């Protein structure tokens, strides 16, 4: 997952979600496990992030 948009003028709840995911700067990328909790967080801030699925071979 990569942060694509700035946190400026966004809802406080969305800022806190991105902070919990470790996405604090534009262009920062993180890898997360595929589980319902992470999917819910991604769903909440989907307009600000880009998500790619990785193969298990990497």
**pTM for the complete prediction?**
0.86
Full pLDDT tens readout for the chain, 58 residues: 999 999 999 999 999 999 999 999 999 999 999 999 999 999 999 999 999 988 876 5
User: Which CATH number belongs to the domain containing residue 46 in this structure?
Assistant: 3.30.1390.20
Contact 53, 9 (CB under 8 A): no
Distance of CA 27 to CAs 4, 11, 49, 57, Å?
A: 6, 20, 9, 24
Q: Which domain holds residue 28?
A: 2-50
Bridge partners of 2, per DSSP, are 29, 50
Residue 35 lies in a domain: yes
Query: Rounded to the nearest 10 degrees, how much is the dihedral formed by the CA atoms of 51, 12, 7, 17?
Result: -30
Number of domains in the chain: 1
Residue 56 lies in a domain: no
């Amino acid at each position: 997952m990569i942060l694509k948009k700035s946190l400026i003028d966004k809802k406080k709840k969305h800022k806190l979600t991105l902070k919990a995911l470790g996405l604090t700067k534009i262009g920062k990328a993180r890898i997360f496990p595929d589980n319902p909790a992470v999917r819910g967080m991604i769903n909440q801030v989907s307009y600000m992030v880009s998500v790619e699925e990785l193969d298990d071979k990497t």
